[in-house]
Amino acid sequence: MQDLEIYIRDLEAGAVNRWLEGHVGQLMLDDSDVSSVIKGSANFNEGQLKITLYPQAFGKRYTSLNIEGERLPWRSDLDCARSAWRAMDTEVRCSPGEWKEGEPAEDEKWWRLDSRGEQLVAWN
């Protein structure tokens, strides 16, 4: 199982659904209220995707988006973040590499994509 994870700042209701519907099939995701955890699914290249939104990740302004499956619409978190940023026009962040759950992330640099371009930054 592979996964993609990005962080979307000030996520608007419906934005993830509008973005993903152009990249996956049979999207089942109701993000009309993004104040609580949302679980959904979709198909991609004849495989099933599990989609989860976690609001208030890394503070109140970011929502974590996880996409899991055997085949994914993007090759990397950064490719996914680029696509999301183009579609939503809000700041999107992602890890630059092989971070694993449970490892400290305080000193790690993150990709920040926004109107200033793509930059590696400390999260805080």
Domain that holds residue 41: 2-122
Q: Is the pLDDT of residue 38 over 80?
A: yes
Total number of domains in the chain: 1
Q: Quote the pLDDT of residue 58.
A: 78
CA angle 96, 99, 104 (to 5 degrees): 115
- CATH number, residue 76: 3.30.310
Name every residue whose Cβ is closer than 8 Å to that of residue 48 and which is 6 or more positions away in sequence.
Answer: 41, 42, 69, 70
Q: Quote the pLDDT of residue 124.
A: 75
Q: Residue 101 carries which side chain, given as an amino acid letter?
A: E
Structure confidence by residue, pLDDT tens digits, 74-88? 999 999 999 999 999
What's the pTM?
0.90
Q: Quote the pLDDT of residue 99.
A: 55
